[in-house]
């Protein structure tokens, strides 16, 4: 039987206990360092979140305070407050896929123009049987343009208001505007006639454009002949 002595401070495999203790201490230190780093990063992220939240609340408080200040100044007449208002509008363009038609107004035969909707915004206006239909009471700005290609001496059109409600013996159909243009260019039989104005319309009223000719020659291009309105108030 072989027998040998183990020196104090040394295990039976020959590894010093001091080295074992040092390794355990290093491992423990690394674990603690990693844990500390994790906690530090978590704390940093939390601090950044708190700073962002504080900044957002400051902006909200500043905005609310600024709005209240502007409102108070506006009530005191110190500043003017402008609000963006989207005005209802309707633009009709001549429909070149259809043809002009004849329509009786009064005792005469007039020429009607086929229309199509080019632009519509809001619910105050709509198109009904080639006329503009008002769905809200108010003041309206009306405009029209017709491009005539006729050889007669004078051409023009009328804008008619057809009332929904009639009081007493007043007429249901009223001529709002009457536009006339001399066709004085004998070389080029083409003239553009523009007519604009402001009228009062009630719910259910219709505005129609007619040409006081039984047969009229005109352009049905959408950029040459159009008819529209927008609500002022």
pLDDT digits (tens, 9 = 90+) for 163-213: 999 988 889 999 999 998 877 665 556 788 899 999 999 999 999 999 999
φ, ψ at 214 (rounded to 5°): -70, -25
Both tokens of residue 119?
Answer: 């632009």
Three-class SS of residue 183?
coil
Show the tokens assigned to 192: 């553009």
In tens digits, the chain (233 residues) has pLDDT values of: 444 454 554 445 555 666 655 666 666 666 656 666 666 677 677 777 777 776 666 556 655 666 667 666 666 665 555 556 678 999 999 999 999 999 999 889 999 999 999 999 999 999 999 999 999 999 999 999 999 988 777 889 999 999 999 988 889 999 999 998 877 665 556 788 899 999 999 999 999 999 999 999 999 999 999 999 999 98
Nearest to 115 by CA among 213, 209, 198, 194: 209
The rounded distance, in Å, linking the Cα atoms of 109 and 1 is 139
- 88: CB partners within 8 A, 6+ apart: 121, 122, 123, 124, 125, 136, 230, 231
pLDDT, position 22: 65
CB 207 within 8 A of CB 125: no
Q: 10 Å Cβ neighbour count for 185?
A: 9
């Amino acid at each position: 039987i072989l027998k040998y002595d183990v020196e104090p401070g040394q295990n039976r495999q020959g590894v010093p206990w001091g080295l074992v203790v040092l390794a355990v201490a290093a491992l423990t230190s690394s674990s603690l360092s990693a844990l500390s780093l994790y906690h530090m990063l978590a704390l940093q992220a939390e601090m950044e979140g708190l700073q962002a939240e504080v900044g957002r609340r400051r902006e909200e408080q500043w905005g609310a305070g600024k709005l209240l200040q502007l409102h108070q100044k506006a009530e005191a007449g110190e500043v003017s407050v402008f609000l963006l208002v989207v005005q209802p509008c309707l633009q009709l363009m001549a429909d070149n896929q259809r043809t002009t038609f004849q329509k009786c107004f009064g005792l005469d035969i007039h020429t009607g123009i086929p229309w199509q909707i080019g632009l519509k915004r809001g619910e105050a206006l709509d198109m009904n049987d080639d006329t503009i239909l008002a769905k809200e009471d108010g003041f309206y700005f009306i405009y029209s343009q017709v491009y005539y290609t006729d050889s007669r001496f004078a051409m023009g059109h009328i804008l008619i208001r057809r009332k929904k409600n009639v009081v007493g013996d007043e007429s249901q159909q009223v001529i709002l505007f009457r536009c006339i243009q001399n066709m004085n260019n004998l070389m080029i039989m083409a003239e553009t006639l523009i007519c604009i104005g402001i009228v009062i319309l009630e719910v259910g009223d219709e505005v129609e454009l007619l040409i006081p000719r039984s047969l009229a020659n005109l352009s049905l291009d959408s950029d040459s002949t159009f008819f529209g309105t927008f609500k002022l108030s």
